[in-house]
Structure 1
């Protein structure tokens, strides 16, 4: 268990709460070490009962913590930074941003050039320890890099990337959860079309998707290698794959990821 002084998650919406749950589930820290903030505290009643600290005072939350996680919407960030700037101590605080389209320099411009800032892009699977989290920084020291990596390694996989790729990581990993869930949903609907009850079709589709992903990760394989193993000449698999490609399956996925990356880069306004 980490010996950090405290973690303030400013903006406890879906991703903030998922992170809090994941950190506790993995034994990174106890619920009492995490302060959750939100304007309407009624939305945090369950978390308070679970032992998390809750408040609507972001300044106070920062003052009581050593790690500050920014998890508000991009359009809410500037006002938040103005409120907490006086509470930030560069010698004490590490600032982690999970906000799309906001650079480390954008945050330091509001909080001071000496503040250590890292960007992290997890996804909602962090709540069950299965996130793919990309991290990047332009001024983080080795000790803090190790701490951030440790934090997010407890709730999934971590990869360190160059900061200019963080917006792309948002589309591929954070938005990507929705893309793959939509694929599973479509597969389950296909299952209903061919005779299965809806709940059985969904379970079958989800486990099949899980198994397909595990093949790639555990065997360090490539999708086409695994596809070749289940496609035989004039068979049913290749017939289905070719029909999907004729209907634009891969092209639609690629175009969707590209558009999401473009939109992610436009969410935050510096002023």
Structure 2
């Protein structure tokens, strides 16, 4: 099994399409090697014009692929697994699940205990090759874990974690995209309030956020180390930071991440 085979992405919504776009942009796959499925083909009309294989037939998509990516909503998974069960061959298929809150054993319980399942939790930055993806498995062969890691490294960074941390990874990395975007939006709104036009304030906030992240990645430093470089006695930066902390900035973000983790863990169970 290798990256030269075909891949089927079952459930080509926002995440599935972002994954497909990332794989193509990174030159890992050609559009002709990727099959996208969705209940309504009209929603994949643009992708069909781009050269992707598109179908509503999940069973056929699995039969024509070596790697099968499950990318549906948790409440849709059981029906999908029942639909594709007869086409899944434990000897030839690798199942990669990006479904929130679903354990490897849950998927094998519907397909076969011999099926190789690796869970992955990317985020939507995968479409530009900047995803933070966490992967895990319960008993998949190391070769398949390595293959999954290789696959997702073409579209960002990968960390291999224990399976009991996958809901936490969902909150910090997948939901985290929205959390950081909201903080950028808030910064740009603050910029408007202090005198900048909206488009200029947003551009300034986005580039500043990118610069902050790149500083940490380039230096391998702790955020507080970089913060210390910006704060001076009686200065404006420390005054602003302290005002944010007095109003619960860090506490609110931490609480939001914790709640998102709890919610992620229950999505699949609550749907059954």
| TM surpasses 0.5 | yes
Aligned to 2:184: 184
Aligned to 1:265: 265
Within-5 A mapping of 1:225-264:
225-264=225-264
Q: Tell whether the 8 Å contact from 1:100 to 1:264 is kept in structure 2 after alignment.
A: yes
Task: Give SS of 1:202's match.
Answer: helix
- Displacement of 1:138 in angstroms is 1.0
Aligned to 1:208: 208
Kindly provide the CA deviation profile for residues 113-152 of structure 1, in whole angstroms up to 9, marking residues without a partner as x. Answer: 0000000000000000000000000112121112111110
What is the alpha-carbon distance in structure 2 between the residues aligned to residue 19 and residue 251 of structure 1? 32
What is the alpha-carbon distance in structure 2 between the residues aligned to residue 5 and residue 172 of structure 1? 32
Q: Tell whether the 8 Å contact from 2:231 to 2:237 is kept in structure 1 after alignment.
A: yes
Task: Give SS of 1:265's match.
Answer: helix
Kindly provide the CA deviation profile for residues 199-242 of structure 1, in whole angstroms up to 9, marking residues without a partner as x. Answer: 01001000000010111111000000000000000000000000
Ranges in structure 2 where 5+ consecutive residues have no aligned partner? none
What is the alpha-carbon distance in structure 2 between the residues aligned to residue 19 and residue 131 of structure 1? 9
- Displacement of 1:3 in angstroms is 4.4
What is the alpha-carbon distance in structure 2 between the residues aligned to residue 216 and residue 151 of structure 1? 25
Q: Tell whether the 8 Å contact from 1:5 to 1:65 is kept in structure 2 after alignment.
A: yes
Aligned to 2:92: 92
Aligned to 1:133: 133
Task: Give SS of 2:202's match.
Answer: helix
Q: Could you say what the CA RMSD is over the residues aligned between the two structures, in angstroms?
A: 0.9
What is the alpha-carbon distance in structure 1 between the residues aligned to residue 105 and residue 248 of structure 2? 39
Aligned to 2:175: 175
Ranges in structure 1 where 5+ consecutive residues have no aligned partner? none
TM-score, scaled to structure 2? 0.98
Aligned to 1:159: 159
The number of residues matched between the two structures is 270
Runs of 4+ in 1 over 3 A off after TM superposition: none
